[in-house]
Structure 1
């Protein structure tokens, strides 16, 4: 019987995954798919007070799970927006329509776990750059952007 290899365990310090500032929101790629060999990706997301996050959408090739750390996050699930508080968990499987925002006057933070660990960090980096630069792509460019990142937007 072989013994487990202690070298397989990976530890990332806070400096290994800096915050990406997106205006009133910020995110940290805690464990991108590149680090987990595509098993999963983990993002810490921070929403400022009364901040928008993601309009209702779904993904065809990966699931997202949400775990609220602090504040109150309003998630779109089962066809309606509802508040989630610290310790609450939600799973949006493939084709499960979901979204998130902060409707409260306090900041909120939560984790997003996506499986498998696709290169989702590219999506977040591009979105942050658009917000930071103030660039407002037209509908055709946004449709192509979402298609590149397996994000299908839906009407509420």
Structure 2
């Protein structure tokens, strides 16, 4: 059974890890609970991130422009584009996300989950979040 990594109202389940695709891609299901958002927009310079909507509608803001990703919709976030997301809807969302090349893996999400657990329900350590992001090729915006 594939591991589900939970980060508050977000969950990730890797379907293909980089090693399985000779480094060419990674693929995971990405779920976002209703009302959840990523408070830290970011970019990544080493890979593209392509989302395919499965359930619900996720609002992705890419370079200041909102995109709705619902069932059957696709969105490619190119290298260097600042982006974040929100689930404004009344239902949870689920996307299939592909990273090319496959330089992002489950360790990023595990480490981020640990930072959130260490906050014990309080505000997370922003310096620790930034360090995890940078270690895995993400650049915090602002």
TM-score > 0.5 by shorter chain: yes
The alignment status of 1:90 with 2:78, answered yes or no, reads: no
3-state secondary structure, aligned to 1:34: helix
Moved more, 110-119 or 65-74: 110-119
The alignment status of 1:74 with 2:62, answered yes or no, reads: no
3-state secondary structure, aligned to 1:55: coil
The alignment status of 1:152 with 2:130, answered yes or no, reads: no
C-alpha distance after superposition, 1:113-151 (max 9, x if no partner): 101111422111111222244352243x33322221111
How many residue pairs match? The answer is: 139
C-alpha distance after superposition, 1:91-127 (max 9, x if no partner): 1111122222211111110011101111422111111
1-side partners of 2:3 and 2:57: how far apart? 23
**Which residue in the other structure is 2:125 paired with?**
137
**Which residue in the other structure is 1:31 paired with?**
16
3-state secondary structure, aligned to 1:99: strand
- Cα distance, 1:54–1:44 mapped onto 2, change above 3 Å: farther
C-alpha distance after superposition, 1:37-65 (max 9, x if no partner): 21100010111110113632111111111
Please provide the CA RMSD for this pair.
1.8
User: Any gaps of 5 or more consecutive residues in structure 1?
Assistant: 1-14
C-alpha distance after superposition, 1:20-51 (max 9, x if no partner): 22232211011111222211000101111101
Aligned residues of 1:25 and 1:47 also touching (Cα < 8 A): yes
- Cα distance, 1:58–1:106 mapped onto 2, change above 3 Å: same
